[in-house]
Homo-oligomer: A and B are copies of this chain.
Amino acid sequence: MAIDHVPQAGVNANAPQVAPLDASKLKITLSETLKAIPAPESLVFGGTMSDHMMIVTYHPETGWSDPEIKPYGPLTLDPTSSCFQYSTNLFEGMKAYVGSDGEPRLFRPNMNMARLERTRDRIALPTFDTNELIKLIKKLVVIESRWIPNVPGHSLYVRPTMIGTRPSLGVAASDHATLYVICCPTGPYFRTGARPLSLMAVGEHIRAWPGGTGGYKLAGNYAPTFLPQKLAAKAGYDQVLWLLEDRVTEAGAMNFFAVVKREDGDLDILTSPLDGTILPGVTRDSMLTLIAAHGSKNSLRNIPTSLKLYPHERTFTIGELVQWSEEGRLLEAFTVGTAVVVAGVGRIGSEGRDDIVLPKHEGSMGPIARALHEKITAIQEGREQWEDWSVPCS
């Protein structure tokens, strides 16, 4: 194998003569037969796709095609395409909620678009204006709004995907691309009921490293996680807790938080810093904001305002978790992400040590995780306002 040294024209340059992505050129073709929508309680994440998809393609000589919303259907691609050979693929995870006013809302879509742009740049795919993509996503969500379950904790999961489609085996950036958006109705991600998640700390397989791609939403970050995930499941744990040396980084494909009691009785709430090994999660960022606002701007329900919560983006180790647990100070651990929102952690295993067992709580979450979950869900569903986080689609 060798990288083709011929410079690629057109990638990330978008010479003036090629067409930009333009949502005003959208063509809509509605499906003649609509699917039956499954009952909310029967939904399996990502298993049932909605009726339509948005799709648009980039060619280095002509630029972006006219975007289309059309019936959901397969992609047809040359076997040499970069997406298969060199995994020039990225995605985003977003959710659309419907409130009591019937209006579909997206949650902080600008954050997803900014991350998509950084990831696209990192793998040298053709550029576009993400504001145009937001317009297209809103159109698609409005068309698919009958798919949004009007049940608390349910939503329409929206998956923007971008794949390189350069039809050549030469090892070089993809100067062809397809950008598409697909949707599926979703309920609770983990169907574990009232049981919290168990995590197995893994240091042998490393998810991400400084100078690597762990801070980007690259498709290629996920394939290597499936073997460790299977090994964790075999050992009786739900998910992997990823270590980098002894540092705790993420859990499964989610960000990880620990709630630690301070000597003054207040709470430190820790998550790993964005040093390039951590996905900058939209839910992670929202949690840090909601934690910081407690007691002042807008407090968490059922948490005394006299209890101070200190959010920290800082490095911490599995050894520290063990120590805090032994000292009785590790009150809660939880994971967050767009798909899962918030999930409580009940147990953390690591090699050569007894499992860390977290305090038990009614349901699957401790009071902090539960309060954060309630708060963010209220904002997402439009029952509470918080800055410009909840964005109407119409």
With contacts A74-B77, A76-B75, A89-B223 known, is A1 near B338, CB below 8 A?
yes
Report how far A172 CA is from B88 CA in the complex, Å. 19
Contact at B339–A1, with CB atoms within 8 Å?
Answer: yes
- Min Cβ gap A2→B in Å is 4
For the complex, is A213 an interface residue (Cβ under 8 Å from B)? yes
Name the residue of chain B whose CB is nearest to the CB of A170. B46
With contacts A93-B1, A182-B80, A253-B171 known, is A88 near B339, CB below 8 A?
no
Contact with B along A181-192 (1 / 0, CB 8 A): 010100001111
For residues 198 through 214 of chain A, which have their beta carbon under 8 Å from a beta carbon of chain B? 203-206, 209-213
Contact at B227–A121, with CB atoms within 8 Å?
Answer: yes
For the complex, is A340 an interface residue (Cβ under 8 Å from B)? yes
For residues 223 through 250 of chain A, which have their beta carbon under 8 Å from a beta carbon of chain B? 223-227, 229-230, 233, 238-240
Q: Which of A21-29, A133-141, A161-169, A306-314 lines the interface with chain B?
A: A161-169
Report how far A45 CA is from B78 CA in the complex, Å. 16
Select one of B84, B190, B233, B337 contacting A163, CB under 8 A: B84
For the complex, is A159 an interface residue (Cβ under 8 Å from B)? yes
| Complex interface: chain B residues within 8 A of A220 (CB) | 87, 218-221, 223-224
Select one of B5, B197, B225 contacting A239, CB under 8 A: B5
For residues 46 through 90 of chain A, which have their beta carbon under 8 Å from a beta carbon of chain B? 46-47, 49, 53, 72, 74-80, 82-89
Contact at B83–A83, with CB atoms within 8 Å?
Answer: yes
For the complex, is A19 an interface residue (Cβ under 8 Å from B)? no
For the complex, is A272 an interface residue (Cβ under 8 Å from B)? no
For the complex, is A157 an interface residue (Cβ under 8 Å from B)? yes
- Min Cβ gap A133→B in Å is 16
- Min Cβ gap A261→B in Å is 27
For the complex, is A4 an interface residue (Cβ under 8 Å from B)? yes
Chain A interface, >50% SS class? loop
For the complex, is A36 an interface residue (Cβ under 8 Å from B)? no
For the complex, is A380 an interface residue (Cβ under 8 Å from B)? no
For the complex, is A383 an interface residue (Cβ under 8 Å from B)? no
With contacts A76-B76, A170-B45, A212-B212 known, is A337 near B2, CB below 8 A?
yes
Select one of B46, B164, B213 contacting A224, CB under 8 A: B213
Binding site for B on A (CB under 8 A): 1-8, 11-12, 44-47, 49, 53, 72, 74-80, 82-89, 91, 93, 121-124, 157, 159, 161, 163-164, 168-174, 180, 182, 184, 189-192, 197, 203-206, 209-213, 218-227, 229-230, 233, 238-240, 252-254, 279, 281, 335, 337-340, 343
Q: Which 10 A-B pairs have the closest CB atoms?
A: A46-B169, A220-B220, A206-B211, A2-B340, A87-B87, A86-B222, A173-B226, A87-B219, A3-B252, A124-B226
What would be 10 A-B contacts, judged by CB atoms less than 8 Å apart? A2-B190, A2-B254, A3-B229, A5-B238, A72-B79, A85-B91, A87-B220, A87-B222, A88-B226, A123-B224
